Amino acid sequence: MEGWFSRTAVDTATTMLTEPFVHEYMRANIWHLKGRDADLLVDTGMGIRPLAPEIETQPGKPLIAVASHIHLDHVGSLHEFPERAGPAWSADAFATMPDAATYAHEFRALQAPVSRPPHAGWNATGYRIRPAPLTRSLAAGDRIDLGDRQFTVLHLPGHSPDSIAFLDERDGLFFSGDAVYDDTLLDDLPDSDRATYRTTMRRLLDLPVRIGHGGHGPSFDGTRMRAIARAYLERTEGP
Interface with Zn ion (CB under 5 A): 71, 178
CB nearer Zn ion, residue 168 or residue 178: 178
CB of 88 to Zn ion, least distance (A): 17
CB of 28 to Zn ion, least distance (A): 8
Q: What is the DSSP string of 153-196?
A: EEE--SSSTT-EEEEETTTTEEEEETTS-SSPPP--STT--HHH
CB nearer Zn ion, residue 13 or residue 186: 186
Contacts of 38 (CB under 8 A, 6+ apart): 61, 62, 63, 64, 145, 146, 147
Distance of alpha carbon 139 from alpha carbon 75, whole angstroms: 18
CB nearer Zn ion, residue 39 or residue 178: 178
CB of 183 to Zn ion, least distance (A): 12
CB-CB contact of 229 with 222 (8 Å): no
CB nearer Zn ion, residue 35 or residue 87: 87
Distance of alpha carbon 234 from alpha carbon 226, whole angstroms: 12
CB of 12 to Zn ion, least distance (A): 29
Residue closest to Zn ion (Cβ): 71
